[in-house]
Structure 1
Amino acid sequence: MGSRPLTVREWEDGVPASDDGAKDDGFAVELARWRDVRGLSRTALAKQMGYDRSYVSKIESGSERASKEFAAQAETVLRAGGALRTAFREQEAARTGSRPRPMTVAGPADQIGAGTLVVDHDDATLHYDGGAYRLTHRRRLVNGGREPIARYLIRISVDRYPGDPERSNQLYADNPLSWSELDLHAWHGDSRNESMTWSAHHDRDAFKEVWLHFAGPSGHFPLYPGESTWIEYEYTVRDEHWGHWFQRAVRLPTTRLSVRLEFPAELSPAVWGLHTSMTADAMPLPTAIDRSAEEDRAVFAWSCENPPLHARYRLEWDFRARREPPRPVQPSEAMAALGVVQDGDPLLRRVARRLDLPSEAEDARRVVAELQSACERIAQAHPFGKGMGLAAPQIGVDRAVALVRPLGGGEAITLLNPVIVEAGSDSDEQYEGCLSFFDVRCRVPRPLTIHVEHEDVTGYKHITVFERGLARLVAHEVDHLHGVLCRDHLPPGREPIPVEQYRGTGTAWNYADQE
């Protein structure tokens, strides 16, 4: 029925070994792995690639070296997200001695018998046709416990407007995600050998949890200890329900995670990604997203080895050539469209609610991740020559959290419960812009040095000293968390100037006078 005992040899190097010892050949290992991911026999792969089955067997066995053309065709057919191209380049480099071949990443062999379910490979493909998204998800599961497994829990969560919770909640209240729209189907075993039945565990307007049962028309087929199998499921979500993001959360020990996004090329898609974990705030993905073109499709693929438990990998995108009404002309309208709360909203004049740390550490991480995501969206739409900052109230979240991205692209500064406890006596005046009223600029005085008390997720308090431009950025965001706007600092008789009169867009603040 698709399940079989997992041998020790199959866990060498973290990938299924071929019958002919191909584990000594990096490209052959990757070829066998991705053929297994796609549920193809050697004969089926050879047919799709246009090669003889014997040639594919020789490549996998390591008795013959793959050509560059073969590697490129295998990459296209198996949709490996650049993994086969990389393995071929590394193998060729090792063969010619141009650089040492990196060590193979160890798999979860040591996790077998640890009393847990292990995911050998988690592979997701999201296909967008211009009107709906279709997700195909394949997982190779290994039962490392002592009891048979009879069901597997999956989650389906959508959010059309992640930067605007009120608008998003209203959308799903008026038009909830339905089971008929999802059209969920699931299978067990290689090449969808057996259909799996399923039952709803949680049914909410924008969130579903589903039990996939190891059972189908031919009976029950539980996953026994030491056995492994592929499961696969698909569902569809209409464009009006699915936001421009896709997130993978690592809830079980996982050897490899891979994601593939397929969009119509005519939409000119742009894709970026963020990573959060239990020990780190949101950061860019540790490796680059691979981009390729396949006929009239733009394909983006990303993968990683041994992702840590509870890590979240989030891919976001924008369609730059979308045939929609022209973007708003006014900067404030553009920011509002990106989910930034605008002037006049009472939330901007409210003192933000402090985090109770460490008990609310998970809330803190969630808010920081939302701020990172919003900053990425905003940075895609507008250049920031002075750096940028964003406070949680500006994305509709009433928590004392802010994020500052310094000039030059340095590491983002996360501020939890920040308070300015000391300011230097020297100050200067510079123009500032605020994303919540971006049509104007305000020339305001600020101290050149500030001391800020803030906390980390453990509740430990730090005092950090910021100077000059970074001090100005941080002070602006701390003000937001206390219901203060930059125009409140304008001297009597001075008014903001329209952005059209401002000549400093895209340039850094000038501190030549303080040299």
Structure 2
Amino acid sequence: MSALEPEDFAATVRHWLEVSGFSRKKLAKEANFSSGYVSKVASGAERGSLDFAARADTAMATGGALERAWQAHHGQGAKPSAEPIVSAPGGLIVDQDIAELHYGHGQYRLTQRRRIVNTGSEPITRYLIRIAVDKFPGEPERSNAHYREHPLRWEDLNLEAWCGSGRTEPITWTVQHDRDSFKEVWLSFRGAQGRRLPIYPGEAGWIEYTYTVPEGQWGNWFRRAVRLPTNHLGVRLDMPADRAPEVWGTHTSLAGDDLPLPSPIEVERIGDRLTYSWSCENPPLHARYTMQWRWSAGAYDEPMQTPSQVMADLGIVQDPDAVLRRTARRFNLPAEAEQVRDVVARLEAAAEQITKVHDFTGKGRGLAAPQIGVDAAAAVVYTPGAVAPLVLLNPVVVETSAETDMQYEGCLSFFDTRSRIPRPLVAHIEHTGLDGTRRITVFDQGIARLVLHEVDHLHGVLCKDRLPEGEEPTPIEEYRGTGSAWQYK
């Protein structure tokens, strides 16, 4: 094992409770679980369910960090938690789930239609819906900051709802949760003059609702999550043809893998509009289907910053700056201990800034002094979920394992691509303490990869230099691993 262990699911829950400012009681209320259950999960006394992870992700706006952590630690052969969801309606099946997202005039309008069947023993008198947006998927801190400044407002959403096929009867709704980027609403099956419209046992009924979100608050993606037994799931995107959208889709399995949709997206042009349709029968519970798009070059009203430009704005030196190709100056320790403290403080500050614009929760992150323009043999490495970094001073690789693996790596100094890089599974690294003592630490798997990446930086080597013959960098637009952990047996 390595010198540093990845944190378990309970530790990840505690981390996000601290980051979001949530108490355990508040998370229980927002995610609709009992306080006792949340406390058990956070303390490690209870495994926790995948549904808990998904609901807690939504409540705390983690960008899916908890669900990824759950999959990493419990995804293989995990038993579901016995804790019932407090608000789960019993005996409810979704026969038809049809969503259409229309873009035009700088805003998105979602229309959602569901035919629900009451297979229980009590009348159904209301239905819980969610309105959740994420401008920067996979970058929770950046999204949170964005929505703090630009929250979803009810007056912009213009939520409307109906019962019956063809919008037969307008119905009322009440707010369950109201957050900057997330709303939960109870649709009450109550029509004009308070007339009740329950769905009785053995009966079925249609509900429909629509709402609007300004373009600046909606990311270029639309996800459907299967939370109830569903017979038919359909999605349709309605886009302007003159913006030449490129659309693709993924399916997130119960094992946490992002896979292509099981069937192709159908495209049809109708006048000046393009529609992209996809559907499936009997999707598995907890499956997630995501349709994503990007507008073709020249179709944007104004250019968007590339990931590398974002990093440059945060002070990260970009390739081909010459400082990235030099061997960094070694510290004379302990004589230069104070200088070390200053450099490390600057590295930690820069490393904190980048977490506001990108999600590093799955793989961790590292930063070397040359990347902030400092000629010094120092680097910091943050393992997934860690608050304090591993500090490397004057590091040198003294031994590596013969066994290697290939995983994707990204570099903050050219962040527009990801590259599949071979690395040893075990690395012995000599480094120096503040007191001048030399020591050797053994790292393995993902931590070894992080450390070796930073040691390379201190010797003027970039990860793309290690691309095997025939391998090409993957553009960030095509990369699907943001926020997910490296996989090891």
Q: Normalised by the shorter chain, which TM-score bucket?
A: 0.5 to 0.7
Report the secondary structure of 1:240's partner residue. Answer: helix
- Structure-1 residue corresponding to 2:339: none
Q: Please tell me whether the aligned partners of residues 274 and 283 of structure 1 are also in contact (alpha carbons under 8 angstroms).
A: yes
- Indicate how the Cα distance of structure 1 residues 198 and 398 shifts in structure 2: closer, same or farther if over 3 A, else same: same
CA distance in 2, matches of 1:392, 1:333: 15
* 1:155 is aligned to 2:118: no
* 1:303 is aligned to 2:279: yes
TM-score using structure 1 length: 0.51
CA distance in 1, matches of 2:454, 2:281: 45
* 1:396 is aligned to 2:373: no
Measured after TM superposition, the shift of residue 440 of structure 1 is 12
- Structure-2 residue corresponding to 1:253: 229
Q: Please tell me whether the aligned partners of residues 402 and 424 of structure 2 are also in contact (alpha carbons under 8 angstroms).
A: no
Q: Please tell me whether the aligned partners of residues 182 and 237 of structure 1 are also in contact (alpha carbons under 8 angstroms).
A: yes
Q: Please tell me whether the aligned partners of residues 341 and 395 of structure 1 are also in contact (alpha carbons under 8 angstroms).
A: no
CA distance in 2, matches of 1:169, 1:241: 11
Match for 1:195: what amino acid? P
- Structure-2 residue corresponding to 1:127: 102
- Structure-1 residue corresponding to 2:340: none
Report the secondary structure of 2:121's partner residue. Answer: coil
- Indicate how the Cα distance of structure 1 residues 280 and 325 shifts in structure 2: closer, same or farther if over 3 A, else same: closer
Of structures 1 and 2, the one scoring higher in RCO (CA 8 A, sep 6+) is 2
Q: Please tell me whether the aligned partners of residues 235 and 279 of structure 2 are also in contact (alpha carbons under 8 angstroms).
A: yes
Deviations 1:212-247 (A, max 9, x none): 011110500111000001110000001111111111
Task: Give the counterpart of 1:508 among 446, 454, 471.
Answer: 471
- Indicate how the Cα distance of structure 1 residues 210 and 336 shifts in structure 2: closer, same or farther if over 3 A, else same: farther
TM-score using structure 2 length: 0.53
Runs (5+) with no aligned partner, structure 1: 1-113, 352-390, 403-414, 454-474, 510-515
- Structure-2 residue corresponding to 1:238: 214
* 1:437 is aligned to 2:413: yes
Task: Give the counterpart of 2:300 among 323, 327, 350.
Answer: 323
Alignment of 1:298-377 (within 5 A): 298-320=274-296, 321-326=298-303, 332-333=308-309, 346=347
* 1:293 is aligned to 2:266: no
Match for 2:95: what amino acid? D
CA distance in 1, matches of 2:462, 2:256: 38
Measured after TM superposition, the shift of residue 272 of structure 1 is 1.4
Measured after TM superposition, the shift of residue 450 of structure 1 is 3.3
Measured after TM superposition, the shift of residue 273 of structure 1 is 1.5
CA distance in 2, matches of 1:268, 1:440: 22
Runs (5+) with no aligned partner, structure 2: 1-88, 319-345, 366-382, 386-396, 428-443, 473-489
Count how many residue pairs are aligned between Structure 1 and Structure 2: 306
Task: Give the counterpart of 2:255 among 249, 274, 279.
Answer: 279
CA distance in 2, matches of 1:220, 1:180: 26
Match for 1:396: what amino acid? D
CA distance in 2, matches of 1:485, 1:143: 57
Q: Please tell me whether the aligned partners of residues 139 and 356 of structure 2 are also in contact (alpha carbons under 8 angstroms).
A: no
CA distance in 2, matches of 1:193, 1:507: 60
CA distance in 2, matches of 1:125, 1:166: 29
CA distance in 2, matches of 1:274, 1:440: 21
Measured after TM superposition, the shift of residue 292 of structure 1 is 1.5
- Indicate how the Cα distance of structure 1 residues 202 and 297 shifts in structure 2: closer, same or farther if over 3 A, else same: same
Report the secondary structure of 2:223's partner residue. Answer: strand
- Indicate how the Cα distance of structure 1 residues 241 and 146 shifts in structure 2: closer, same or farther if over 3 A, else same: same
Measured after TM superposition, the shift of residue 341 of structure 1 is 11
CA distance in 2, matches of 1:124, 1:221: 23
- Structure-2 residue corresponding to 1:195: 170
Measured after TM superposition, the shift of residue 128 of structure 1 is 0.1
* 1:212 is aligned to 2:187: yes
- Indicate how the Cα distance of structure 1 residues 485 and 131 shifts in structure 2: closer, same or farther if over 3 A, else same: same
- Indicate how the Cα distance of structure 1 residues 325 and 350 shifts in structure 2: closer, same or farther if over 3 A, else same: closer
Task: Give the counterpart of 1:450 among 420, 424, 434.
Answer: 424
- Indicate how the Cα distance of structure 1 residues 265 and 239 shifts in structure 2: closer, same or farther if over 3 A, else same: same
Report the secondary structure of 1:397's partner residue. Answer: coil
CA distance in 2, matches of 1:231, 1:193: 10
CA distance in 2, matches of 1:262, 1:295: 12
CA distance in 2, matches of 1:439, 1:416: 19
- Indicate how the Cα distance of structure 1 residues 177 and 313 shifts in structure 2: closer, same or farther if over 3 A, else same: same
Match for 1:158: what amino acid? V
Match for 1:450: what amino acid? P
- Structure-2 residue corresponding to 1:137: 112
CA distance in 1, matches of 2:358, 2:416: 20
Q: Please tell me whether the aligned partners of residues 125 and 137 of structure 1 are also in contact (alpha carbons under 8 angstroms).
A: yes
Measured after TM superposition, the shift of residue 343 of structure 1 is 5.8
Q: Please tell me whether the aligned partners of residues 360 and 384 of structure 2 are also in contact (alpha carbons under 8 angstroms).
A: no
CA RMSD of aligned residues (A): 4.5
- Indicate how the Cα distance of structure 1 residues 334 and 169 shifts in structure 2: closer, same or farther if over 3 A, else same: closer
